[in-house]
Structure 1
Amino acid sequence: MASYKFINSQRINKSLIVPSRLGFLMFLVFLIEISFNFRLNFLGIFPLSIPHIFGVLFAPLLHGGFLHLISNLVPFFILSFLLYYFYDRVADHVLLNVYLVTNLVVWMAGRPYFHIGSSGLVYGLLFFLISMGLFRATFQSVLLAVAIFIIYGSIIYGILPSNGRISWESHLAGACVGVVSAFYNSRKVRLSSF
């Protein structure tokens, strides 16, 4: 019984590493912007602009304000923790795909303004975790998908064009990348080391 608790606490600790580091980096970038009163939005994604292709790397780290940061950081942290907890064998690959491919799609097909924020990443993780429940159809994956849908299901409408200031393109691209990643990874036999 004691070894089971040790394994679980080890699993939890391991699952917190990447989400904590990336979340801290997002928060640090925001603190730098506030401290120096200097916006880094020019490092975001500006579609089809060759000089701004680097935004594919930096856009998820940038946020328009504290509320924007928190509204992305909290679900990112929770969803990425769940990704690493339940699917640790593919988590790095999935997170990297969602991060880069989502932003590359926005760079190729987004509206012509600067896109910033990690909401595309949030949507990618959300749709990956929900889709894994559909594609794998194991008790654990379905239970996780249902729980996530109950908690975050209301944000699914964010993939539709609505508010002109919100990058729904990031949401839609992230959702598509998440579903494709889930479909690809759902065929693997072991997705967790535990």
Structure 2
Amino acid sequence: MAIDPGGQSDPTRFGTEAFYASIGRAFVAMCAFVPVLFLIEFLDTRFGHRLDQAGGIRPRHLDGLDGIVFAPFLHVGYDHVLSNSVPLIVLGTFVLAAGSARFWLTTVFIAVVAGVGVWFLGSPNTVVVGASGVIFGYLGVILMRGIVERSWWHIAVGLLVGLLYGWQLIAMFPGDPGVSWQGHLCGFIAGLVAAILFRRRRPKPVEHVDTLALGPDVS
């Protein structure tokens, strides 16, 4: 039987080779995704921002429901894409490193909850686009994951992320009319819930059963 000295094949264990490999793969994947957003913005600009109008969320309009799917990929300009790129890479890397299946379940859950929240709570005279709801969702996931999974690594990451981006939580409350605080708030709440729903299950402890060796049955 092959023995793994020190658990180096466990990607969830801080300091192992598999852990660093998982972080590296996640970082590369998120860096590769950001150019896709810039490409979409390039096409949107060439078409006179028609993609924003067609694919954005239109609160409380039935023809704006499809924006729940498309809005996270659309932005109002290159500056908007750029401002979302760094937090998307940083936060997305830590969320993805915990497992691709959980990443996709978490991302879809956050995008849907944030989008539905914007559709119900947003101003009906606006069109909402951008990945900010998903980003705030990732922030919620990381902050909550260390608690629900009782992982010192995730707690440390949560504290670091809190120091880096905690000040942005103010964007979850009404303020700048050009910012969808509804999407930020709903995304953040969705991230907290997702961390609980899609948490890593701890293996049940193995019960040791003592056996009694019996001698030959003598009648």
Range of TM-score over shorter length = 0.7 to 0.9
Report how many aligned residue pairs link the two structures.
189
In the other structure, the counterpart of 1:152 is: 165
In the other structure, the counterpart of 1:57 is: 69
Query: 1:165 is matched by which residue type in structure 2?
Result: G
Q: Is 1:114 matched with 2:127?
A: yes
Quick one: structure 1 residues 67 and 127, their matched pair in 2 at CA, closer, same or farther if it must change by over 3 Å? same
Q: Please, what is the CA RMSD of the aligned residues?
A: 2.4
Quick one: structure 1 residues 11 and 97, their matched pair in 2 at CA, closer, same or farther if it must change by over 3 Å? same
Q: Aligned-pair distance for 1:41?
A: 1.8
Match of 1:40, SS? helix
Q: Which has the larger radius of gyration?
A: 2
Q: Give me the whole-angstrom Cα distance separating, in 1, the residues matched to 2:86 and 2:103.
A: 18
Q: Give me the whole-angstrom Cα distance separating, in 2, the residues matched to 1:166 and 1:38.
A: 18
Q: Aligned-pair distance for 1:72?
A: 1.0
Quick one: structure 1 residues 82 and 150, their matched pair in 2 at CA, closer, same or farther if it must change by over 3 Å? same
Structure of greater relative contact order (alpha carbons < 8 Å, 6+ residues apart): 1
Name the one with the larger helix percent. 1
Q: Is 1:168 matched with 2:168?
A: no
Question: Which residue among 40, 58, 68 is the counterpart of 2:51?
Answer: 40
Q: Aligned-pair distance for 1:37?
A: 4.0
Question: Which residue among 15, 21, 46 is the counterpart of 2:26?
Answer: 15
Question: Which residue among 105, 130, 135 is the counterpart of 1:93?
Answer: 105
Q: Is the 8 A contact 2:22 2:97 kept in 1?
A: yes
In the other structure, the counterpart of 2:85 is: 73
- Identity in percent: 24
In the other structure, the counterpart of 1:134 is: 147
